[in-house]
Amino acid sequence: MPDLPDQLFVAAKHWFIMLLSGMPDWLVQCVSSLINIGAVLGVFLTLFALISVMERKILGRIQNRYGPNRVGPFGLLQPAADGIKMLIKEDVVPRNADKLVHFLAPLAMVVPAILALGVIPYCHNMTPFSIDGGILFFFAIGSGTELAVFMAGWASNNKYSMLGAMRAIAQMVSYELPLVVAAIPVVMIAGSLSPDVIVEAQGKYLFDTVPQWFVLTPWGAATFLIFFTAGLVESNRTPFDVPEGESEIVAGHMTEYSGFKYALFFLAEYFGMFAISGLAVTLFLGGWHAPAAWLQFIPSWIWFFAKLGALIFVFIWIRGTLPRIRVDQVMGFAWKFMLPMAFVCIPAAAVWHYAGRGPAGWLLSLLLIAGAGAALKKITGIGEKFAPRTYRFAE
C-alpha cells in the first residue's frame, strides 16, 4: 500500500514542522499541538455541519416528508443558515440566574467532548494525542459532562431546569457504569489501556478475509451492544432522550438557554456522539483496519470514517424509528439488566481467551452470555416491560 495516500495528513504535518527547523523545541511542540487541535476541530466541525443536515434529511425520508431543501443546493447550506441565526439571536438570561455559571456551563459541556476526540486513533500513526492510558483518559474526561449539566440546571434559577438536570445526571451516571465496565473485557484481551494497542490487537485476518475484530466474538458482540446502548444514553439520543424532552413543556437543563449558548449544547451532543462512536470503532470494530486483507490498498483513515459514519447512521435510524421510553424504564434497564450483563462479559472474555480463542472458547463464551441473559430476563421481567402495549378505549 502506498504510504502517501494513507499518511497524507501525517506527511503534511511533518513538512510544516520542518519549516520550523532552527526554532526552539518548546515552540515546535506548541505548534505541533496546535496543528493537532486545529485538525480535530476542523474535521469534526465539518462533520457536525454535514451530519446535522443529513440527519434531518434522513429523518424526513423515514417519516415520508422532505428534509431541508431551500437553503443552497439540496439544502446543504442549511447548517450555515442555522449557525448565522444562532449567532445573531438574542441571548436571554434569567434575571436572578447565576450569570457566570450560566455562561460557563455550555463551555464545560463542549470541552470534555473535544478532549475525548483527541485520544482516538483515526489512522495508522494518526492519533492526535497518543497516551498509554487513553481509554482511562476518555472516560475520566467524559464524566465532566455531568458537572456541566448540573451547572446549567442550577445556574438557571428555574425549578424545572433543576429537576431536568437531576433527571439527566441520574440517567448519565447510571449508564456510565455499564459503559465503563463494557470496555474492561477489551482492555483485558488487548492487555493495554492504549487505543493504538487495542486497534493493533484486531489487525489480523483469518484466511486473509475474515477480520479478527472483537465484535465477531460472542463476548465482543454482547459487550458492543451494551456499549452502544449506553452510548445512546450518554449522548441523550432517542429512545433515551428523557433529559431533554423536546416534545414536552420544558427542555430539561437547557430550558433557560437560547442563542449561541444553546447551539453549544447542541454541538456538544453531536461531538459526544462522534466520540462514543469513535471509541466503539476503536474497541470493537477494528479501528482503522480494513474489513479484509485484500482491501488494505484503501487508505486506513477512509475505513475509520466509514465505520464511524455507519454507527452515526444507526443513531439516526433509531431516532426515526423508536419512541421515547419512560424514565423508570430507562433506570430499571440500566441497573437490572445492562450492568449485570456487562459484568458477565468479563468472565466470558476470560473463558474465550483461556480456551485458546478457538471454537471451544467461542461456544463456552456464547453459552455463558446466553444463559446469563435468559436468567436476567426471567428474573427481572425486562421482556414483559418492553412488550408491545395493548390499548383499550372507552366505550
Burial status of residue 81 (CB atoms within 10 A of its CB: 0-12, 13-18, 19 or more): middle
> What distance in Å separates the CA atoms of residue 147 and residue 126, rounded to the nearest whole number?
31
d(CA 298, CA 243): 41
Inform me whether the pLDDT recorded for 1 exceeds 70: no
> How many Cα atoms occupy the beta-carbon half-sphere of 79 within 13 Å?
16
The sign of the CA dihedral 318, 320, 321, 326 is positive
Residue 229, C-alpha cell as written in the block = 446502548
Neighbours of 1 (CB within 10 A): 13
The average confidence (pLDDT) of the chain is 88
pLDDT of residue 148: 92
Q: Which of 170, 165, 108 is nearest to 141 (CA)?
A: 108
Query: Is residue 4's pLDDT more than 80?
Result: no
- 261-268 contact pairs (CB < 8 A, 24+): 261/91, 261/102, 261/103, 261/106, 262/86, 262/106, 263/82, 263/83, 263/86, 264/106, 264/107, 264/109, 264/110, 265/106, 265/109, 265/152, 267/48, 267/110, 268/106, 268/109, 268/110, 268/113, 268/145, 268/148
Q: Percentage of the chain with pLDDT > 90? A: 50
The predicted structure's pLDDT at residue 33:
85
Residue 317 has pLDDT above 60, yes or no: yes
Cβ-contact 79, 270 below 8 angstroms: no
CA angle 343, 346, 348 (to 5 degrees): 115
Q: Can you say whether the dihedral through the CA atoms of 217, 219, 220, 221 is positive or negative?
A: positive
Question: Which three cell numbers mark 45?
Answer: 466541525
What pLDDT is attached to residue 199? 95
For residue 7, name the pLDDT band (cuts at 50, 70, 90). Answer: confident
What CA–CA distance (Å, rounded) separates 384 from 381?
Answer: 5
More confident residue, 113 or 11: 113
pLDDT band at 394 (very low <50, low <70, confident <90, very high): low
Q: Per the confidence metrics, is the pTM higher than 0.85?
A: yes
For the chain, the maximum distance between any two Cα atoms, rounded to a whole number of angstroms, is: 87
Distance CA 220, CA 155 (A): 42
Residue 247: predicted pLDDT? 60
For the chain, give the percent of residues with pLDDT over 70: 94
CB 83 within 8 A of CB 77: no
Question: What torsion do the CA atoms of 347, 374, 313, 324 make, to the nearest 10 degrees?
Answer: -120
Burial (CB < 10 A; 0-12, 13-18, 19+), residue 45, is middle
Find the range with the poorest average confidence among 11-25, 147-161, 272-286: 11-25
* Residue 180 pLDDT: 95
Q: What is the mean pLDDT of residues 12-41?
A: 84
Q: Please report which confidence band the pLDDT of residue 2 belongs to, taking 50, 70 and 90 as the band edges.
A: very low
